[in-house]
Amino acid sequence: MALLEIDRLHTFYGKIEALRGVSLTVGEGEIVALIGSNGAGKTTLLRTVTGLERARQGRVAFAGQDITHLRPHAIVGRGLGHVPEGRRVFSGLTVAENLMLGGYLHRAVPRLLAERSARVFELFPRLAERRGQLAGTLSGGEQQMLAIGRALMAEPRLLSLDEPSMGLAPVLVRAVFAVIAAIRKSGTAILLVEQNARQALRLADRAYVMETGRIVVSGPAAELARDPRLRAAYLGGEVTA
Amino acid sequence: MSLFLQLLFNGLTVGSFYALTALGYTMIYGIIRLINFAHGDLLMVGAFIGWTLLTTVAIQHIPIAAAIAVALLLSMAATGILGLVVDRFAYEPLLRGSRLSILITALGVSLALENGVQLGYGAGFKAYPHLLPSVYLPVGGASLGVTQIGIFALSLALMLGLYLFVHRTAIGTAMRALALDQDAARLMGIDVEGVIRLTFFIGSALAAAAGVMMGLYYSEISFTMGFLLGIRAFTAAVIGGIGNIPGAMVGGMVIGLLEAFTAGYFSSRWSDVAVFGALILMLMFRPRGIFGERVVERM
Ligand SMILES: Nc1ncnc2c1ncn2[C@@H]1O[C@H](COP(=O)(O)OP(=O)(O)OP(=O)(O)O)[C@@H](O)[C@H]1O
Ligand SMILES: [Mg+2]
């Protein structure tokens, strides 16, 4: 049984059906990429899985248990971490406060939080230098590091990331992908939404392609990277912003 | 000089009431962008609960200081729970709806509280028992009441406690976080609705403390007392920078002093003109309030 099992999920915004029966799985320790053009429903899928949007139909199971109708904080408590689109760091709070909030569920065990923030600082030395700085004053790349580090504070079993490379310079994009590889090495499964399809497919074990609320193609990432239809639509020479 | 000092003491005392009340407005606005019209009425309910405790529950048998402490704490707890219940059943279901529906609900809660208390206690004034000693210390020709010192000290202690709670504890940090970004706060594992309820509890308890102290200070209360006081305290929150906790404290003191000095040097009939005139000037020249430059930090 897979760690995360999404089964025929439907989500609506008013009358707009943004998810039209999406099924997807992520296994223990796996990296799964989810690609698709703008407005395909990738963000909606991640938001529904984390409980920020309500599913009208279908089922989400995590570690064998139904989490479809749990509230977000309870889902996070089960071990499902999420780095949202656009980073969403708490701009008016310091780097250290942002990280502490990432470990909010373990707030009764300060020793644990200290250990974990030390590990985050090891992964992102830049954040250590800036721990007293307001998150809103960080550069885009640093904010992305903080958003990832913050999610790691809860030591999730599965981390979903929504376009973590968006708006970053190429060197930082490579850094983000390296960090994702490192996170997987530590045993955390990854569900990665990316516009940067080429790099995502190189990193991932398996991948899904979404179009207007449906999964249209899925399979081993290496196979998808060679698929001529995908090459034309998502892996063409054009640089995605 | 002696008049100036007298007005200063009076202003700081009244300012304490406004500051404590403004904190509730500002915290609630800070986290859910709601102007809680019922907040002044929660203060009034707190004052009536204190009155009930001090008059009926034979508190005569215990020392005065203990009686007041018990009345204050119980009133704060009960009013806090009332505020929490109002949030849970009146506001929470509407949080995802339109801004207007929740605002109108707040007006409805305000009316319900006023009329509920009027039904239970009658429309007349209720005399608060004279428990506090009328001891005055001569200071530079003015007289500083021991009661005034007590009110100011207790208010300051409550505000300092709140400030430390919001800035030094994990739950306080969660409050500031959800004021900035609710969805992101949920992703941290924060029970956002729970923290909002806690905020209502704290804001209402602080208002109740102000209500009981007002009863003891002015010696009478009525079911309408929350209305004008609420508007002035809200003005204090706006002048301080709505959503900003130190701003509410400073704004409250500013309004209290403004009211006292206008009453002392001109006439008390002009105090509302001064208070709302200050609000208009503030909105014209510094719409974010005294502490408004810290836009990123809403609490
Ligand atoms: N809050 C919302 N209200 C109404 N419609 C929405 C909302 N959010 C998304 N949608 C719609 O749902 C569809 C899916 O949007 P979604 O953001 O999930 O796409 P996406 O694949 O993440 O796109 P992108 O690559 O641009 O981030 C789109 O048609 C979008 O317009
Ligand atoms: Mg998206």
CATH of the domain at A94: 3.40.50.300
What is residue A1's predicted lDDT score, i.e. its pLDDT?
79
Which CA distances in Å does A89 have to A104, B175, B180? 15, 15, 9
Look at residue B22 and tell me whether its pLDDT is greater than 80: yes
Rounded-to-integer distance, Cα B5 and Cα B145, Å: 12
Q: Would A107 be classed as within a structural domain? A: yes
Q: Tell me what percent of the residues of chain B surpass a pLDDT of 90.
A: 80
Q: Tell me what percent of the residues of chain B surpass a pLDDT of 70.
A: 96
Q: Judge: B297–A92 Cβ closer than 8 Å, yes or no.
A: yes
* Contact map slice: B 200-219 vs A, CB within 8 A: none
Kindly state if the Cβ of A176 falls inside 6 Å of ligand 1. Answer: no
By C-alpha distance, the chain A residue nearest B181 is A90
Higher pLDDT, B229 or B295: B229
Contact of B184 with chain A, judged by CB distance below 8 Å, is answered with yes
Kindly state if the Cβ of A43 falls inside 6 Å of ligand 1. Answer: yes
What is residue B96's predicted lDDT score, i.e. its pLDDT?
85
Rounded-to-integer distance, Cα A48 and Cα B107, Å: 34
Q: Would A44 be classed as within a structural domain? A: yes
Q: Tell me what percent of the residues of chain A surpass a pLDDT of 90.
A: 90
By C-alpha distance, the chain B residue nearest A147 is B184
Q: Would A241 be classed as within a structural domain? A: no
The ligand 1 atom nearest the CA atom of A41: 18
Rounded-to-integer distance, Cα A10 and Cα B133, Å: 69
Q: Judge: A73–B176 Cβ closer than 8 Å, yes or no.
A: no
Q: Judge: B184–A136 Cβ closer than 8 Å, yes or no.
A: no
Among residues A40, A124, A48, the alpha carbon closest in space to that of A80 is found at A48
Q: Give per-residue pLDDT as tens, A22-34.
A: 999 999 999 999 9
Look at residue B297 and tell me whether its pLDDT is greater than 70: no
Look at residue B294 and tell me whether its pLDDT is greater than 80: no
Flag the least confident range among B86-90, B95-99, B191-195.
B95-99
DSSP state of B128: P
Look at residue A18 and tell me whether its pLDDT is greater than 80: yes
- A105 vs B contacts (CB less than 8 Å): 189
Residue nearest (by alpha carbon) to ligand 1 atom 3: A13
Q: Which of B170, B177, B192 lies nearest to residue A90, judging by beta carbons?
A: B177
Rounded-to-integer distance, Cα B296 and Cα B286, Å: 16
Kindly state if the Cβ of A153 falls inside 6 Å of ligand 1. Answer: no
Q: Which of B180, B186, B189 lies nearest to residue A92, judging by beta carbons?
A: B180
Which fold is adopted by the domain B2-126+141-285?
Answer: ABC transporter involved in vitamin B12 uptake, BtuC (1.10.3470)
Q: Give per-residue pLDDT as tens, B29-69.
A: 999 999 999 999 999 999 999 999 999 865 667 888 888 99
Which CA distances in Å does B90 have to B67, B76, B84? 33, 20, 10
By C-alpha distance, the chain A residue nearest B188 is A102
CA-based diameter of chain B, in Å?
A: 59
Domain limits, chain B: 2-126+141-285
Q: Which domain holds residue A196?
A: 4-235
Look at residue B223 and tell me whether its pLDDT is greater than 80: yes
Kindly state if the Cβ of A180 falls inside 6 Å of ligand 1. Answer: no
Q: Give per-residue pLDDT as tens, A208-225.
A: 999 999 999 999 999 999
Q: Give per-residue pLDDT as tens, B231-250.
A: 999 999 999 999 889 999 99
ipTM of the complex: 0.94
Rounded-to-integer distance, Cα A165 and Cα B120, Å: 62
CB contacts < 8 A (A, B) = 75
Q: How far is the CA of A68 from the centre of ligand 1 (A)?
A: 20
Look at residue A207 and tell me whether its pLDDT is greater than 70: yes
Q: What does the mean pLDDT of chain B come to?
A: 92
Q: Which of A82, A107, A134 lies nearest to residue B187, judging by beta carbons?
A: A82
Ligand nearest to the CA of A36: 1
What is residue A162's predicted lDDT score, i.e. its pLDDT?
97
Average pLDDT over residues B66-89: 96
Burial class (CB in 10 A: 0-12, 13-18, 19+), B175: buried
Average pLDDT over residues A193-200: 91
- B97 vs A contacts (CB less than 8 Å): none
Q: How far is the CA of A212 from the centre of ligand 1 (A)?
A: 10
- A89 vs B contacts (CB less than 8 Å): 184
Contact of B98 with chain A, judged by CB distance below 8 Å, is answered with no
Q: Judge: B189–A92 Cβ closer than 8 Å, yes or no.
A: no
Q: Would A240 be classed as within a structural domain? A: no
Residue nearest (by alpha carbon) to ligand 1 atom 17: A43
Q: What does the mean pLDDT of chain A come to?
A: 94
- First-to-last C-alpha distance (Å) of chain B: 37
Q: Which two tokens stand for residue B23?
A: 């904190």
Q: How far is the CA of A92 from the centre of ligand 2 (A)?
A: 24
One-letter amino acid of A82: H
The tally of domains found in chain A comes to 1
If pLDDT is split at 50, 70 and 90, which confidence band does B105 have? very high
Q: Give per-residue pLDDT as tens, B257-286.
A: 999 999 999 998 999 899 999 999 988 888
Q: Give per-residue pLDDT as tens, A144-171.
A: 999 999 999 999 999 999 999 998 999 9
Q: Which of A11, A24, A38, A44 for a ligand 1 pocket mutation test, highest count of atoms within 8 Å of Cβ?
A: A44
